[in-house]
Structures are given as structure tokens and as C-alpha cells.
Chains A and B, each alone.
Chain A
Amino acid sequence: MKPKRHVGPALVMAAALGVVFAPHRAAAQAPAPERGKQVYDKWCTPCHGAGEGKPGTISAVALYKGSKPAVLAERADLTGAGIKTAVRSGMYIMPRFRKTEVSDAELDAIIAYLTRTPSPLR
């Protein structure tokens, strides 16, 4: 079965169910790449952000030895295909992310955010 690309569930559904708070639904309506940043901050920053104790950033320091920024959001050479592969196939300790976690639309938004700056490296 070929999966259909889906968008995040409507906020109205959460409201109809009397929901106090539904985190997965919160960032559904903002435009990319702003929405991409919201999704990125939720799912990616805990590992790939700046500061202490971020395993993805620690790995990037060891892997690139200063030749590229270790904080993912500071990179100018990321490509949509590369980001998709990392998110859907995993890399080192990073597991795959399911579509119930990061939907295809949200992944596109992350890509829009991480590739927001035009770059000759890309």
C-alpha cells in the first residue's frame, strides 16, 4: 500500500474532545520554515542543539573535528535527501522516526528550516 502524505490532525478535533493539551497537534498550522523550527525544536534540539549533554552534537564534534558546525541548525551544507535519510533510517545511536512522531509534512518543514539559507555547499 502506497502511503498518502498526510498533514497533522486538525486542532478542531482536539477541541471537540475537550482536550486540555495535545502536544503533537500544537504546531500544525504555522508556515514552513517557521513551523519547521517548531518541529525541529521539539524533536531534534534535545540531541542536536547547543549546550551541554547533547549526544548528536557530541557525535558531530567527534565526526567533523571542527570542519563543520556541530550544531545541526548552524550547518549550511545539509540537503533535503540527507535529512530525510537520517530521520527515516537513523544514524549511529539515532533511531528512525516513525510517521506518527514526525509526519512527512513535518519532515518537509524541518527540511525547509534546515535548508533555509541558500548555500553553494548544498
Chain B
Amino acid sequence: MPLPSGVTQRDFSQALAQFASVVGKEWVFSSDEDVDLYRDAYSPFWHEEEERIPSAAVAPDRVEQVQQIVRIAGKYKIPLWTISTGKNLGYGGSAPNQTGSVVLDLKRMNRILEVNEKNHSALVEPGVSYFDLYRHIQEKGLKLWIDPPDPGWGSLIGNALERGGGYTPMRDHFDAHCGMEVVLANGDVVRTGMGALPNARTWQQYKYGFGPYVDGIFSQSNLGIVTKMGFWLYPEPEAYFSGTVMVPKHDDIHALVEGLAYLLNSGIVQGTTSVLNTIDFGPPDPELARVRVGSSTTDLERYVAQKGLGYWTVDLPFYGPSKVIAAQWEHAKEKLSTIPGVQFRDGASYRFPMSPAELAKIPNPVPLGVPSLTTFAIGGPFSQGHMWFSPIIPMTGDAVVEATKVFEQVYKDLGSPAGALPGLPIWSFFARAFVIIYFFPVEHDVEKNRRNRDIFRRLVKVAAEHGWGEYRTHTAFMDDIAFAYSYGNRALWRLHETLKDALDPNGILAPGKNGVWPKRLRKANV
């Protein structure tokens, strides 16, 4: 396996021996066979030298060991790439951004430290997955919901730090956190918010504490290692209901999104929705396959009218007491009924708690706060992996139409990504803006991956030209996307670098994470 950049074999061996003295020999992995397990299972660099490969991995069991490890790493200038459950698949998995980094694997730190049913909150370690916390809540019979993202085996902490999203009213995972414990590069342990108060009684109840609020600098960052994090949970609701809205014309997107933004921003709809066009996301139909090719908008509108479908469809999710949900749905219909030809359909309706047998009948229970791995079926039965292009665009019909047109032009110029799914699914994982989550397949095929990477990079560039930026990305594209956030002669990037130099002068924490490199590894040309 490769050595960390600029580190001698002698120093590397000494560092590993010292790591072993901290965590025990069995938790330092340096054989090729063991280190291979940390490679990115969905690497867009399969069979290419550019694949980022770790040199070793070390797996502490508690925060004191993390402190000792960063001090050893600082002494030998060993880069540490931290993972929580290592399931950031599609964004780099458990592999580092820089070849030769040692993976700091926090999976063994998997304690659920507190679940508070009265305050609807929890305190967990990085190795706790959504499945773990869900099972714990079920076993204890607590009236609480978690908010899982699509893949349930990820870490609550890891996903929140990556600013991931889910489906229930707690869907913005970083926003739903309350209090952190962070190990800094010098080994200090910092508790944020009310956790800075010795004997704090409200660490998971009040976010801000006193003085500057620093939690944000530890998300998508390499400024510290988060070892505990509090989360607000959702009180188990009485019911869930999904109402479908379909509008008949292409240009109805403007009124539809305006109405949707009103419903979301006023809290009437509190869960994640997506805006889908029937042409790309409608029910399978051979006729549609024929109509889709070369048809005008009028032809497509005629097709959906004949089928009784909408040109655009939105499912509105509602959570809460049944009577409130019924009133919210009525209000939503009233608001959207100004769109000529709009159709409303009642969808799924559930009351809670549901039995395991009832839940097992639901193909994708994630919007009901139940973790699942269903999403991994997305690329078909023989898929080898994927990554995501995910720009944030305004929550307006204009932006939906413009983004669709702009990105389709890239595909016309360069061709569609090999094996890609059609259409741009547009989601409301976060307040006030849409995020497009575009599926890019990853294959064990060098040429296809190279081509897809070229298309991806062009999309990033074109998006930036239109004022759209990605919310998160695979390690392969972190520099590209950081480069796009260049306002004021890269003022934000330079601020990130200033923080990096101050907090991690040896540059040992996750070099290159989200485009932020330590001084000694900084590229002169960016």
C-alpha cells in the first residue's frame, strides 16, 4: 500500500506501532487484504492510477484514543481521513481524498449515549447507524421517530456532517443536530453549544450556547473530528398521508412550484417532496417510449391528457394528527385549485404505530422514519455503483425549466452519461431551494468512467455559470466544486484555508476534504 505523502517508511512504521499501543494491534489495519476493505466500492477510478487508496486504517473505541491518535499523527505528519460508518457511498465511501492517508475508522464508537423521549432528542457516537438507533427505539418502545436518509446503514453523525437529507419534518440533518463534541488536531476536546458548560443540563436542548456558533465549521470540513453529536428527533405522529397533485401543461410548472413553495415555507407541508415530469418518471408504457423521442411539448401534453396523468406530478407528504392533516390537504387543494385542469388524488394513508408486518408490506418505508436499503436497487439488478451530481437551484418553475434545458444541452453536446437514468428528479430535501439529485452510474470500465467524469465536470462548470452550486460531492470532484465557489477572488475558500492553517497547522486532518488543503499540500495554480 502507498505511504502518506512526504512520510518515510520508518516514521510510518513508528506511527502505526504507536497507534497499535493506543487501540490494540487488532485495530490497526495495514495488510493489503485489510486496507483493501477501505477502498471506495463505487470508485469512478476503477482500474486507474488516480484511485485514492489509503495506506492503513486505525479504529479507536473511545474519544481518549482519538486524542492520542491525532497527537501521534501530528508528530509524524500522517494524514488522517475520518469515517463514521464508512457508508458514504456515491461520495467516496470509506476511502480518503488523498492516496496514502490513514483512515480513522470510528465504527467501533457506536454507543447510543442518551435517548430522551420527553425532549425528543438523542446523543450518539459516530459509529451509530440509522438502523442502530431505529432498533434501539423499537426495542425500548419509545414514541420517537428518526429521520433516515435513503440508505439506512449510514451514520447519523456522518450524514449530518455531510449535510444530508431525509423525508420527514426533521429532514435537514445538520439543522436537526444540537451540540457536538469535537477532537481538534492538537488533541483538545471541545464541546459546542451548551456542552461547553461543565455539568451542562441542556446540551441537546439549546443549540447555540454563548459566543460565536462554531458547529458549522465542522460540517463538510477537515477542521476537527466529531466524536459525539446530539440530534432532535420527531415525536411519533398520529398519522401520515400523501396527496398527489397533477397539472396538465408544461407551463403549469410555474404555478405549481409557487404553490408548493408557499405550502413548504408556511409549514403546511413539512416533508420532502419531489417535482417529477411524467415524460421521464411516469408509469412504464411502450407508447411513452415512442412519444418521448422527438415529440413537441404539445404532443407530450396530449399524451398525458389521454392517459389521465399530469405533465408534472408532486406528492405532498403530511405528518401529524389526522384532523390536522385533513385540514392541511384541504388547504393545499384550495391553494392549487387555481391551476386549470389540476387533479388531486388521495395517496397512501397510515396510522402509527404500525406493526412490523404492516411495515414489511411497504416497498420504501424511509418517509415513515424507517431505515431501509431499498435505494440500492436504483441502478438495476446488476449495477456496480453510482455517484450523484447534485446542484442546488431556486425553488421556482423558471429554475426547473432553465436547469432542465441547460443540463440537457450538456448531454446533447457530450452525450448522456453511460447508463444514466432519464430526467432530473427535483427534490425539496432542504428549505427554500430545490436540489437536483442526478444519478451517475459507476462501472468497472475505464473508458465509461472517464467519459462520465468529463460530463460531470462539464455539468459542474455549466451549473456554476448559471449560479447553481452542488451541495455535496464525491471526493473525485471536491476541488472542481470548491473552485466554483469563487466569489470575491475565492474569499470563502481563502477563509477556509485560514481556519485550516490555524486549527490544523500540521495539515493532518483529511487533506483536500471539500477542496481545503493544508498549506504544505496546497496547489499553486488554484
A contact set with B: CB distance below 8 Å: 1-4, 6, 9, 13-14, 17, 19-25, 42, 46-47, 51-55, 58-59, 61-63, 88, 90, 92-101
Contact = CB atoms under 8 A, between A and B. Distances in A.
Contacts of B379: 93
B157 interface: no
B493 interface: no
Nearest to B373: A46
Interface string B76-88: 0000000001110
B107 A53 contact: no
A99 B86 contact: no
17 contacts: A3-B34, A4-B25, A13-B61, A21-B111, A22-B110, A23-B135, A24-B110, A52-B360, A53-B362, A58-B377, A59-B377, A61-B381, A62-B382, A93-B385, A94-B41, A95-B41, A98-B94
A93 to B, nearest CB: 5
Interface of B: 16, 25-31, 33-34, 36-39, 41-42, 57, 59, 61-62, 85-87, 89, 93-94, 105, 107-108, 110-115, 127-129, 131-132, 135-136, 152-153, 360-365, 371-374, 376-377, 379, 381-385
Contacts of B89: 95
B31 A3 contact: yes
B372 A53 contact: yes
A78 B362 CA distance: 29
Contact of A92 (B62, B110, B362, B382): B382
A120 to B, nearest CB: 28
A99 B377 contact: no
B136 to A, nearest CB: 5
A54 B87 CA distance: 17
Contact of A23 (B37, B87, B136, B360): B136
The DSSP consensus for interface residues of chain A is loop
A95 B383 CA distance: 12
Contacts of B382: 59, 62-63, 92
Contacts of A94: 41
B381 A59 contact: yes
Contacts of B107: 24, 98, 100-101
B361 A52 contact: yes
A93 B31 CA distance: 25
Contacts of A92: 381-384
Contacts of A53: 362-365, 372-374, 377
B82 to A, nearest CB: 13
A46 to B, nearest CB: 5
Ranked 5 nearest A-B pairs via Cβ: A95-B41, A53-B374, A62-B381, A100-B107, A55-B376
A9 B41 CA distance: 27
B113 A9 contact: no
A94 B42 CA distance: 9
A39 B108 CA distance: 15
A100 B383 contact: no
Nearest to A97: B37
A1 B30 contact: yes
A41 to B, nearest CB: 10
B93 A23 contact: no
Contact of B42 (A4, A24, A59, A95): A95
Contacts of A52: 360-364, 374
